């Protein structure tokens, strides 16, 4: 916590959609929320919206694919607060063609771009911010995964996602889940908890108009995992309190 006793949370991709709503819900609980976005102006506009709602919101310029930005953000948080309590790795992309299973023709470029944002960026940013999270009395890392990262469900005929095969995106989220498991194991004897969140099929730009969940409900899993009590789980994969199969 900062010197004024408030938790400090960084949310990536927080200028809109799930990221912004996650920041809103955390802010309503009294957390100082740092809204990170690739373009500072967009982060500032989002922070201004939350400030009008009485939330302590700050804007940060953070391109999740820029290691230079990781270092700058870490220095800024250290200077201004000295600690980071919550990291929500929300930013992500889906650039697969969604017309059906096209695994055999998915290009290396699509795979690289997807993994750069959905996997490598999460690992790099988390590693850069771990020293600040270690200073927290209750550090929480939430990795925004997807039910589409479940290898078990993808391999199970009749499962909700059996026919939904977007290779690059699905594989990147499976890799992200692996990062969650491995980092949680490494940090098991610390006060930091690491979990993967499936927000659900949410009405966002990525989810599309056919999605089932309102954005307020889509943010609930991330907020719950970001505010887990001391006896809460770590190294898990959750949606609205339910455990998902890896």
**Catalytic member of 169, 203, 220, 237:** 169
From the centroid of its chain, how far is CA 110?
21
CA geometry: angle at 229 spanning 36 and 122, to 5°?
Answer: 30
Q: How many CB atoms lie within 10 A of CB 235?
A: 16
**Catalytic member of 7, 61, 173, 193:** 173
Q: How many CB atoms lie within 10 A of CB 208?
A: 11
118: left (phi over 0), alpha (psi -120 to 50) or beta: alpha
Q: Which H helix or E strand runs over 46?
A: helix 40-52
169 is catalytic: yes
| Contact criterion met (CB below 8 Å) for 111 and 137 | no
Residue 236, φ and ψ in degrees, nearest 5? -115, 175
Cα separation values, 16 from 11, 13, 224, Å: 11, 7, 19
237 is catalytic: no
If you ran DSSP here, which 8-state letter would residue 3 be given? Answer: T
CA geometry: angle at 200 spanning 198 and 204, to 5°?
Answer: 115
Q: How many CB atoms lie within 10 A of CB 166?
A: 25
If you ran DSSP here, which 8-state letter would residue 67 be given? Answer: H
Query: Which three-class secondary structure state does DSSP give residue 115?
Result: helix
Q: Which residues are catalytic?
A: 169, 173
């Amino acid at each position: 916590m900062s010197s004024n006793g408030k938790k400090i949370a960084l949310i990536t991709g927080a200028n809109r959609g799930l990221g912004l709503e996650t920041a809103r819900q955390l802010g309503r609980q009294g957390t100082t929320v740092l809204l990170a976005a690739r373009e500072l102006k967009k982060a500032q506009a989002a922070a201004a919206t939350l400030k009008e709602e009485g939330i302590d919101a700050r804007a940060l310029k953070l391109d999740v694919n820029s290691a230079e930005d990781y270092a700058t953000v870490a220095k800024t948080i250290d200077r201004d607060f000295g600690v980071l309590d919550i990291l929500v790795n929300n930013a992500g992309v889906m650039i697969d063609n969604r017309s059906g299973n096209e695994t055999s023709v998915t290009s290396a470029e699509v795979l690289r771009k997807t993994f750069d944002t959905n996997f490598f960026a999460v690992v790099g940013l988390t590693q850069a911010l771990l020293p600040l999270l270690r200073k927290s009395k209750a550090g929480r890392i939430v990795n925004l995964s997807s039910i589409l990262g479940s290898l078990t469900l993808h391999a199970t005929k009749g499962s909700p996602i059996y026919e939904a095969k977007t290779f690059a995106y699905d594989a990147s989220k499976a890799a992200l889940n692996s990062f969650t498991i491995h980092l949680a194991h490494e940090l098991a004897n610390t006060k930091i908890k690491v979990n993967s969140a499936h927000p659900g099929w949410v009405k966002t730009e990525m989810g599309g108009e056919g999605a089932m969940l309102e954005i307020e409900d889509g943010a609930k899993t991330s907020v719950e995992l970001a505010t887990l009590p001391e006896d809460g789980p770590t190294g898990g994969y959750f949606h609205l309190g339910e455990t998902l199969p890896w």
